Chains A and B, each alone.
Chain A
Amino acid sequence: MVYVALITGFLLILMGLYGALTNRNILRMTVAFSIASTGTHLVLVAVGYIPGRTAPILDGAVTAADASLRIIDPVPQALVLTAIVIGLGVTALMLTYAYKLYETKRTLDISKYTDLKW
């Protein structure tokens, strides 16, 4: 189970990066990066998973006393939240940039934005 999630996550990263490297369209690149970040998030939570355990929330089923034996690692879950939010921020920024870039040259082809080089 953990391995499935991990492998899926890694594959998503690679797929996303492939998309970002081969698509010239800025919007497609942005989407590709979203896919790759999703893969990263999957890897993140998968690493914290312990087979047979439950979510790190104390309630009737899991009490404070036996929590350390029953719950999975809460840290990656906390991290992934942060990572998701940050990823979202960057994506929003990329989209805004895409909009602005389109405004200047009327194209979304990244290979057209090479005024700066060498």
Chain B
Amino acid sequence: MIKKFVALLLLAGLGLMFVGLLLGFTPDQVLNTTASYYADHSVEDTGAANIVTAVIVTYRGLDTLGEVTVLFLTATIVSLILTQPRPSGTPIIGVAEKKALSSGELLQTGTRLLVPLVLLFGVYVFVNGHLTPGGGFQGGAILASALLLLLLSDPTKRFNHRLISRVESISGILYVVIGVLGLVLAGGFLDNRILPLGAFGTLFSAGAIPVIYTLIGLKVGAEFSSMMVTLSESRDR
């Protein structure tokens, strides 16, 4: 009870700060310097129609590299933790012996039908990241959802860890290599102008952005998959 009261008191204090922020806040009427620079220059700078993509992949590419690294790190740590032998003496959790319930005809058939489509959609989303809403992260997540679907339909299914980690690593390395190429060939680390910017609005445009987003898509897909796979396999260890 006291705990809840104190919690409320503290949150009231935090809320006070938020109120302060709210009271000091006036929505912008025009874009600020940074945003208007992006609005005006992203086409000539990067050739991407999706300005958010231009910001994510190029202008703030280092953030995105960091972001990919966060996922990589999480996936690595998750598998590091879960593949570590449990401390001796602790009992095994769950019901390993009991066979998992069948997931049902509907789900299994649906999965067979949907997985190729989902994969295709995922690829579409990250390949077109510079043109339409979406991009590597979204596409990667969609790819991984196909895997999730497979897992749901058959919880005992095993996946090739090695393949997943290879996809993840190779795309990661290539991402870094492209970044370094930008440093060597163009204006700086992760500069997308190592490839021609191409015709605005077409698939093969915006320099290295589609390539990077493809790599990100593959990498994110692989990372999500790796996390899910390790988590699901840990259950019946």
Show the binding face of A for B, using Cβ within 8 Å: 2-3, 6-7, 10, 13-14, 17-18, 21-22, 47-51, 55-59, 64, 67-68, 71, 73-75, 77-79, 81-82, 85-86, 88-90, 92-93, 95-97, 99-100, 102-104, 106
Contact = CB atoms under 8 A, between A and B. Distances in A.
Interface in B21-76: 21-22, 25, 27-32, 34-36, 38-40, 43, 49-52, 54-56, 60, 63-64, 66-67, 70-71, 73-74
A18 B3 CA distance: 10
A7 B22 contact: yes
Interface of A is mostly: helix
Contacts of A57: 49-52, 131-133
A22 B3 contact: yes
A89 B71 contact: yes
Contacts of A81: 52, 56, 67, 135, 137
A90 B74 CA distance: 7
A4 B227 CA distance: 36
A6 to B, nearest CB: 6
Given A2-B27, A10-B15, A17-B14, A74 B38 contact: yes
Interface of B: 3-4, 7-8, 10-11, 14-15, 18, 21-22, 25, 27-32, 34-36, 38-40, 43, 49-52, 54-56, 60, 63-64, 66-67, 70-71, 73-74, 77-78, 81-82, 86-87, 90-91, 93, 131-133, 135, 137, 200-201, 227, 231, 234
Nearest to B68: A85
A47 B27 CA distance: 7
Contact of A18 (B11, B29, B87): B11
Contact of A51 (B11, B27, B60, B231): B27
Given A73-B28, A74-B35, 20 more contacts: A10-B22, A21-B3, A21-B11, A22-B3, A50-B27, A50-B30, A57-B131, A57-B132, A58-B49, A58-B50, A58-B51, A59-B49, A68-B36, A71-B39, A75-B55, A78-B56, A81-B52, A82-B66, A85-B70, A92-B227
Contacts of A78: 52, 55-56, 60, 63
Contacts of B70: 85-86, 89
A112 to B, nearest CB: 14
A67 B40 contact: yes
Q: Closest 5 interchain pairs by CB?
A: A68-B39, A89-B74, A56-B51, A78-B55, A21-B7
A104 B87 CA distance: 7
Contacts of A88: 71, 74
A97 B81 contact: yes
B78 to A, nearest CB: 5
Contact of A96 (B29, B36, B77): B77
A82 B64 contact: yes
A111 to B, nearest CB: 10
Most buried by B among A74, A77, A79, A90: A74
B74 A93 contact: yes
Given A50-B31, A57-B133, A96 B67 contact: no
Given A56-B52, A75-B38, A99-B82, A18 B227 contact: no
